[in-house]
């Protein structure tokens, strides 16, 4: 979502870093470019004005002008002020009451129903026992969707069809949740295409009926500044406790996410990062700022690896790699582990410096490349995977035919694998360790 904004800002900062010393005019020129980049990304103009003012004030002060690396110091200031604009990380308040009630509100089409299931799955992984309530009685499809999603993730759903009164329905749902010993109840409320009095009255009635600990607004990041206005209206009506931004993986310009916290005063708590039910991230302002400024997001990458990868298997593979015993069978296993973490293009965005290296590159083919490599390795026998030297011309032709690829592609894979083995040998001996070259071979 922040690809365009991130690219613009990184260009501005690269120009600053090339200068050994910064004048006030240099800072003003850079801030002008940053202002334009933020406005084009659909950030609220008042937020832009306040942000630029704070950054400029600090950038023409002693902490930059007397710095040995003034360009990097400006980037540091921008990062800190961007984190401040995005606000403190919001966390769910589950409280001491059992079950805790979480109410999802928002306009129709923002993704509330899917988000209810995503949030339920997220909380179950954290040790809670979630229970879903289908309170959107005006759309039969919403009830059917929530029931289908509930079955898919094995979480109970309470519904009464389209004739029920939502406030009475949620009270009965809460009673049923207590009987089933649930610890968290998530209510999917009805939305409209636009904010109207009837919808707000109903949400207020549901709030009065079950006294939710959290009222989370599900907002579509693709709607830009309209999402900020919607958040303000909902907050004025029912005191929203947190925001969930959906469609964060789309081609929105990102301004809503940057503006929302400062305009509404309501913390962003979650980001919907894809269509799958596990595509939900807790919001970390420092991590989002790092992504926007092209500095990667190592912590999110580590957390995904811990959640999705078999740690024992990864450790064994790492040991084999260092010992020089890593074969194509191990390589295939590790590729399957990495695939669980999400699309490779998205993972590369989390690696520090990778956004600059891949800027303008088409990363959409990475996953198809992985599938092709998998097909080639799967077309080998076990002995061939463990000892690629067995792959002579006739065997390569068989592997190519079995995988739907060419002998040239098989040769390319084998060459890349041999290069990786050589690199690891150099690393073990110290010759390939960049630190050893920097330190004059003392490592």
**Structural domain boundaries of the chain?**
3-86, 100-295, 302-438
Mean pLDDT value of segment 207-236: 87
Among 148, 116, 118, residue whose Cα is nearest residue 135: 116
CA–CA separation, 372 vs 50, rounded Å?
A: 50
Name every residue whose Cβ is closer than 8 Å to that of residue 233 and which is 6 or more positions away in sequence: 195
Instruction: Work out the burial of residue 29: count CB atoms within 10 Å of its CB; fewer than 13 is exposed, 13-18 middle, 19 or more buried.
Output: middle
Q: What is the CA radius of gyration of the chain?
A: 26
In the chain, what percentage of residues exceed pLDDT 70? 77
pLDDT band for 9, please (50, 70, 90 cuts).
confident
Higher pLDDT, 252 or 16: 16
| pLDDT for residue 96 | 72
Residue recorded with tokens 């690199």: 423
Confidence of residue 301 (pLDDT cuts 50, 70, 90): low
Contact of 248 with 257, CB cutoff 8 Å: yes
Whether the pLDDT of residue 439 is over 50: the answer is no
**Mean of pLDDT values over 290-301:** 60
Q: Is the peptide bond before 178 cis (omega within 30 degrees of 0)?
A: no
Give the CATH fold of the 302-438 domain. Answer: 434 Repressor (Amino-terminal Domain) (1.10.260)
Residue 132 tokens, joined? 């879903």
Residue 433's pLDDT is: 46
Contacts of 369 (CB under 8 A, 6+ apart): none
pTM over 0.85: no
Q: What is the mean pLDDT of the chain?
A: 80
Q: What is the pLDDT of residue 197?
A: 82
Residue 269 has pLDDT above 80, yes or no: yes
**C-alpha pair distances (Å), 259 with each of 38, 264, 266:** 10, 8, 11
Across 315-324, average pLDDT: 60
What is the distance between the alpha carbons of residues 172 and 127, in angstroms, rounded to a whole number? 24
- Given a cut of 80, whether residue 224 has pLDDT beyond it is no
Mean pLDDT to the nearest integer, 28-50:
88
Rounded percentage of the chain residues whose pLDDT exceeds 90: 29
Residue 308 has pLDDT above 70, yes or no: no
> Can 3-86 and 302-438 be said to share one CATH topology?
no
Q: What is the pLDDT of residue 432?
A: 46
* Torsion on CA atoms 250, 254, 255, 260, rounded to nearest 10: 90
pLDDT band for 82, please (50, 70, 90 cuts): confident
Q: Is the pLDDT of residue 92 over 60?
A: yes
Overall average pLDDT of the 182-193 stretch: 90
- For residue 354, what pLDDT is reported? 46
Q: What does CATH list as the number for 3-86?
A: 1.20.120.140
* Alpha carbon distance 418, 422 (integer Å): 6
Taking 60 as the threshold, does the pLDDT of residue 377 lie above it?
A: yes
CB-based contact 176:158 (threshold 8 Å): yes
The span from the CA of 216 to the CA of 238, in Å, is 10
Q: Over the stretch 127-177, which tens digit does the pLDDT of each residue have?
A: 999 999 999 998 889 999 999 999 999 999 999 988 889 999 999 999 999
Q: What is the pLDDT of residue 357?
A: 41
For domain 100-295, say whether CATH 3.40.50.300 is its number.
Answer: yes
261 Cβ neighbours under 8 A, 6+ residues apart: 85, 86, 87, 243, 267, 268, 285
Q: Check residues 146 and 253 and name the one with the higher pLDDT.
A: 146
Contact in structure between 269 and 91 (CB atoms under 8 Å): yes
Q: Which of 1-10, 52-61, 364-373 shows the highest mean pLDDT?
A: 52-61
Q: How far apart are CA 151 and CA 130, in angstroms?
A: 13
Q: What is the pLDDT of residue 38?
A: 87
How confident is the model at residue 40, as a pLDDT? 84
Q: CA 106 → CA 19, 192, 224, 250, distances in Å?
A: 47, 8, 15, 19
Is a pLDDT exceeding 60 seen at residue 47? yes
Q: Which of 358, 313, 364 is nearest to 336 (CA)?
A: 313
Rounded to an integer, the average pLDDT of 408-427 is: 79
pLDDT band at 182 (very low <50, low <70, confident <90, very high): very high
Q: Across residues 74-95, what is the average pLDDT?
A: 83
Contact 270, 244 (CB under 8 A): yes
């Amino acid at each position: 979502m922040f690809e365009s904004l991130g690219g613009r800002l990184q260009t501005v900062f690269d120009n600053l870093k090339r200068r050994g010393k910064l004048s006030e005019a240099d800072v003003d020129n850079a801030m002008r470019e940053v202002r334009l980049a933020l406005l084009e990304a659909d950030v609220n103009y008042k937020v832009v004005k306040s942000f630029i003012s704070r950054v400029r004030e600090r950038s023409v002060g002693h902490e930059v002008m007397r710095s040995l690396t003034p360009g990097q110091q400006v980037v540091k200031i921008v990062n800190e002020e961007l984190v401040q604009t995005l606000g403190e990380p919001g966390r769910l308040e589950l409280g001491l009451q059992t079950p805790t009630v979480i109410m999802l509100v928002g306009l129709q089409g923002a993704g509330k129903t899917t988000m209810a299931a995503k949030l339920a799955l997220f909380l179950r992984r954290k040790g809670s026992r979630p229970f879903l309530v289908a309170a959107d009685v005006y759309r039969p499809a919403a009830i059917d969707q929530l029931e289908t999603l509930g079955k898919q993730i094995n979480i109970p759903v309470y519904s009464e069809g389209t004739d029920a009164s939502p406030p009475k329905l949620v009270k009965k749902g809460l009673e049923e949740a207590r009987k089933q010993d649930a610890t968290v109840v998530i209510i999917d409320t009805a939305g409209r295409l636009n904010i109207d009095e009837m919808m707000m009255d109903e949400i207020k009635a549901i709030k009065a009926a079950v006294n939710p600990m959290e009222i989370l607004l599900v907002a579509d990041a693709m709607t830009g500044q309209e999402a900020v206005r919607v958040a303000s209206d909902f907050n004025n009506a029912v005191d929203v406790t947190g925001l969930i931004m959906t469609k964060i993986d789309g081609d929105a310009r990102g301004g809503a996410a940057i503006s929302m916290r400062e305009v509404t005063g309501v913390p962003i708590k979650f980001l919907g990062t894809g269509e799958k039910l596990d595509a939900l991230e807790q919001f970390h302002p420092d991590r989002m700022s790092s992504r926007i400024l092209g500095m990667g997001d190592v912590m999110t990458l580590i957390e995904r690896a811990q959640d999705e990868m078999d740690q024992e298997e990864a450790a064994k593979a790492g040991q084999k790699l260092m010992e020089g015993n890593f074969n194509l069978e191990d390589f295939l296993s590790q590729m399957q582990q990495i695939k669980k973490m999400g699309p490779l293009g998205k993972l590369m965005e989390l690696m520090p410096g990778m956004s600059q290296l891949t800027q303008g590159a088409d990363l959409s083919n990475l996953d198809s490349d992985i599938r092709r490599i998998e097909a080639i390795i799967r077309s080998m026998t076990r002995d061939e995977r463990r000892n690629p030297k067995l792959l002579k011309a006739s065997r390569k032709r068989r592997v190519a035919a079995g995988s739907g690829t060419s002998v040239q592609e098989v040769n390319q894979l084998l060459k890349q694998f041999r290069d990786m083995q050589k690199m690891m040998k150099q690393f073990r001996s110290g010759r390939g360790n960049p630190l050893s070259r920097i330190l004059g071979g003392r490592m």
